[in-house]
């Protein structure tokens, strides 16, 4: 199949392109000018120069393809620089859906996120709106909702690499966040980190499987791990131990309220809120439905953090 990818130069996109080529597909990527070097195995791919806000370029990218995959997601927005959740996670999806329909493309796959909801943070709301647009499109759609994704970042932003840089390698103790006045449950909220290679495999498997049409899959790793355990695993993978101390969330939120508009501040109010909610698959095991056995989150899987 010839597959258009919006967001193919990012972290997940690099693994998806690799898996598509491995399985004999032809990826066509929308690539920002100057980012051509980010295309994995570029001589085997097609690409169109342009940005997601350029509807003409998006139309050229999806023209003549058999399926479209939309991967774009951001962790924080900077509206003054034209980077917003609405533009990239909602309106970009709507524009791509319109372009695909105009070109007669029937298959559409979306990377959403586990835990989204209509009344959540701006990140969660725009992902929810994107899902609604996909479901109302009349296309043969599949939606994936991964938890936090780990894997060798290949020079891109990645969950564990960022935590190692910002928390584990910092000289100050790692924060074990907690709500309320007393730290009885400090660092005990849970996440289910999922391997980027497993996420890519799920997308490629769904491409040609009609049983995945009109289906939503939550993708989580095999274990629900506490924040404290995750930090300990990242530290061990990097060859060190880390001192950890309880940290009240209200103090972090207060600081974020003042400073999260600045790029140098490491976390936003929305990110804190989503982190404290946890991120595990409580009702749906998408990998089991797909027949995929997800990789565990352990220091062997995080060996790339030693580099």
pLDDT tens digits, one per residue of 43-79: 889 999 999 999 999 999 999 999 999 999 998 888 8
pTM: 0.94
pLDDT of 122-164, one tens digit each?
999 999 999 999 999 999 999 999 999 999 999 898 999 999 9
Same domain, 179 and 163: yes
Q: Has residue 123 been placed in a domain?
A: yes
Same domain, 95 and 177: no
Q: Has residue 64 been placed in a domain?
A: yes
Number of domains within the chain: 2
In degrees, rounded to 5, the angle at the alpha carbon of residue 272 between the alpha carbons of residues 119 and 167 is 155
Same domain, 214 and 257: no
Q: Which tokens go with 14?
A: 């690099």
Per-residue pLDDT band for 307 (boundaries 50, 70, 90) equals confident
Rounded to whole angstroms, the Cα distance separating 56 from 159 reads 33
Q: Has residue 69 been placed in a domain?
A: yes
Q: Has residue 122 been placed in a domain?
A: yes
Mean pLDDT of 275-289: 89
Determine the angle formed by the axes of helices 92-102 and 122-135, rounding to 10 degrees: 20
Mean pLDDT of 19-45: 89
Rounded to whole angstroms, the Cα distance separating 160 from 75 reads 14
Same domain, 35 and 97: yes
Print the domain residue range for 113.
2-149+194-219
Q: Has residue 101 been placed in a domain?
A: yes
pLDDT at 80: 77
pLDDT of 75-115, one tens digit each?
888 887 888 999 999 999 999 999 999 999 999 999 999 99
Same domain, 145 and 166: no
Same domain, 230 and 136: no
């Amino acid at each position: 199949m010839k597959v258009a990818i919006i967001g193919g130069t990012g972290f997940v996109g690099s693994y998806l392109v690799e898996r598509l080529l491995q399985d004999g597909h032809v990826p066509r990527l929308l690539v920002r000018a100057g980012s051509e070097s980010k295309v994995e195995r570029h001589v085997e791919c097609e690409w169109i120069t342009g940005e997601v806000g350029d509807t003409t370029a998006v139309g050229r990218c999806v023209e003549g393809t058999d399926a479209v995959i939309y991967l774009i997601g951001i962790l924080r927005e900077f509206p003054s620089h034209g980077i917003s959740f609405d533009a990239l996670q909602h309106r970009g999806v709507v524009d791509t859906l319109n372009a695909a329909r105009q070109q007669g493309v029937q298959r559409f796959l979306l990377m959403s996120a586990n835990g989204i909801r209509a009344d959540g943070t701006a990140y969660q709301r725009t992902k929810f709106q994107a899902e609604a647009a996909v479901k109302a499109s009349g296309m043969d759609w599949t939606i994936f909702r991964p938890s936090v994704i780990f894997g060798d970042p290949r020079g891109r932003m990645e969950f564990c690499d960022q935590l190692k840089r910002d928390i584990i390698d910092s000289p100050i103790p790692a924060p074990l966040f907690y709500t309320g006045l007393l730290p009885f449950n400090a660092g005990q909220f849970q996440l289910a980190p999922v391997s980027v290679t497993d996420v890519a495999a799920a997308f490629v498997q769904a491409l040609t499987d009609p049983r995945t049409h009109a289906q939503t899959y939550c993708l989580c790793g095999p274990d629900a791990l506490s924040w404290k355990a995750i930090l300990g695993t990242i530290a061990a993978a990097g060859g060190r131990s880390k001192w950890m101390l309880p940290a009240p969330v209200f103090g972090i939120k207060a600081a974020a309220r003042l400073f999260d508009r600045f790029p140098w501040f490491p976390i936003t109010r929305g990110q804190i809120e989503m982190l404290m909610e946890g991120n595990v698959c409580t009702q749906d095991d998408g990998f089991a439905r797909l027949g995929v056995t997800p990789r565990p989150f352990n220091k062997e899987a995080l060996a790339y953090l030693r580099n």
